[in-house]
Structure 1
Amino acid sequence: MAIASVTGQERAKAQIDAWLTTDRLPHAILITGPLGTGKRQLALELAKAINCQTPGSDACDQCGSCRKTDSLNHPNLHLLLPLPTGSRGSDAETMATLRETALDQFHGQAAAATRTGTNISKDSIRLLQKEMSFAPTEAPHRVGLILQAEAMLPAGSNSLLKILEEPPGQSIFLLVSDAPDQLLPTILSRCQRLPLRPLTVSEHRARLEASGTDGERADLAARLAASGRIRAEDVIGGETFDELRELVRRFISAGIQGTDQDYWQILEDLGGRPDRQQIEGFLQLCSAYLRDLFLVQQQQLAAVANVDEMEALQGWAQALQPARVELVAQVLDQAYDSLSRNVNPQLLLADLWYQLQRARAA
């Protein structure tokens, strides 16, 4: 794997090539883009290229530095991402947890979600600051890689800002974010933006086929990923995804036609008290279905992602007022944004259920 292996994103890769070949790499780079655009992969490949022992504009994938970066074991690579509340321990224990969780994220493992929290604390930023303050060893630069940078708490954001204002020598910070608008404007102003564009269905499908996934599952994953609502890796997950998809289908159908008793049954099937990760996946799928429902109402059937659910989508499209569908979509977006503020997940689902019932055609 190397920067060249990242699917699409030719413009971003050309910018990186220019930085590396002219030795003018910014001290802070913010990689942004919708879900499924390859932000994390590109960030890791860039970190690898920065310290590759073979001069050039991409990683060689063969040297000791590249291999250590791939396994997140390089002494000059320092990771930061949200950890669950209460994940405390020694610095070594914290870094080990970060490494394990990040490895799962880079390789698309569902297990990463169970160990990912909602916030990056000030203490975590201070730990990163400590690690980045030492002189680099084994390679020219220390690289700080911050995943889900928007999850930084205000105190942590201010601490990072101080580091970016006076970065340690030979240090480079790579920030990755789905929601850069949630970052402090002062942090944005000190980062070089590297936006990634949404991938097409064919690009997603080619990437999946290259990794050994093909057939109907790859087609569904590619379509959903191209919609910007769901990561292809989550669809490939198989049984867990299928179970959640069936729950979402029941939720929408019952919200349109059912009773409050149906709501409580679906909530129970979600585990009674669903956690943030469950609700996040649930809302992402709701968003994908709602997008398709809107497309069906507009007779844009070729753009539908859930093509195997066309009959249900057409039934829902007839049962809902088009103007109300837009209101449901707004509530859904607000619910998703509220997850980062630790709003009760049950309240989010109850509000969405209420809006679905209000959207029914007279």
Structure 2
Amino acid sequence: MGGGTSRGSTLLLGADVGGTHARLRLHLLDPRSGEAGEELLRREGPGANPGSAAPGALEALLDLVAAALVEGAALLAGVSRAEGAGPAARAVVVLGIAGAGPARHGRVERAVREGLGQRLTARSSPPCDQDLLDPADVHVVDDMVTAFAAGGTGGDGLLLLAGTGAAAVRFAGHRPVERSDGMGWLLGDAGSAVWIGREVLRAAAADLDRRGPSTSLSAAVLGELGLPAPGEPGTGDVRQAMIAAVDPLAPAAWGRFAPLTSEAAAAGDVVAARILDGAAEALLGTLDAVRDTGAGVGGTVVMTGSVLERSGTVRAGVRAGLEMRGLRTVRGAEPVHGALRLAAEHAARSAGPAR
């Protein structure tokens, strides 16, 4: 990567990378509007949270990004040849990666820039040469920044994110000025899918161990793990089988048990309902930590993430709490669109007659 490039079209690559899933979009920059224009391709892959994903996750993400850039450059080169124009001059990349906040940002961004450079060098052949992507055009932010950018609030407001992880951020002029949680599965992420999943596993274990109340979550967890119900002939101690099945799971994978709570709660399971209510209360507490109450009680909250999108109970509990606080809610677009918006802004700031 690196070196001067000629003028031409600009590719914008944006990605929303959570703990379990990644969404990637590649667009052309519209020179008239300065925003993301025609979509060239979209890809999906595994997540790559540096604090909770399985080993090799970041490498798999970089393979996905590099392949998309190569394919996009090839598509554009084919059009350019047909129209007698030159190839793409540059690409601008913004990856919103869960877990890539201030504590890990420098390390993750260096790894991304170096890894993409190595992959594109290995693939370098027309139409994807080493000048397609300059390291300075590769930007890593945490997924909260891209999620807020997708909300279109004008740059000021609050973000409440509850996906694999969970956090709240107060933004001013598109910049995060106050943040709470997003501290990972060990230290926080209260109300997240991983947090809910962990509570589900603990509730099932306590039930099976006769330390806690009976709950239908126990049978649901055993079924999800592919284990037989207690008491079936030849099953042995199902608690030990559960330990063996859960031990190899990366923390990000605990979120797969979170959806079990919705069905159980709807059927009247008190334990499941208590977990969901606790998630909503935890998320509201996280948001309270970043609210600037001295500036007034109003404001706009961008709500995003799989928990707030898929769990009606958690979403309703959070909305009720926000209404009591005098806050207006906005449902954000897919965070990947926020990444594309940021990529377009970076492209505009760094545009010049030559690089």
Q: Normalization by structure 1: what TM-score?
A: 0.29
- Between 1 and 2, higher relative CO (CA 8 Å, sep ≥ 6) is seen in 2
Structure possessing the higher radius of gyration over alpha carbons? 2
Structure that is richer in helix per residue: 1
Compute the TM-score of the two structures, normalised by the length of structure 2: 0.29
**Which structure shows the bigger proportion of residues in strand conformation?**
2
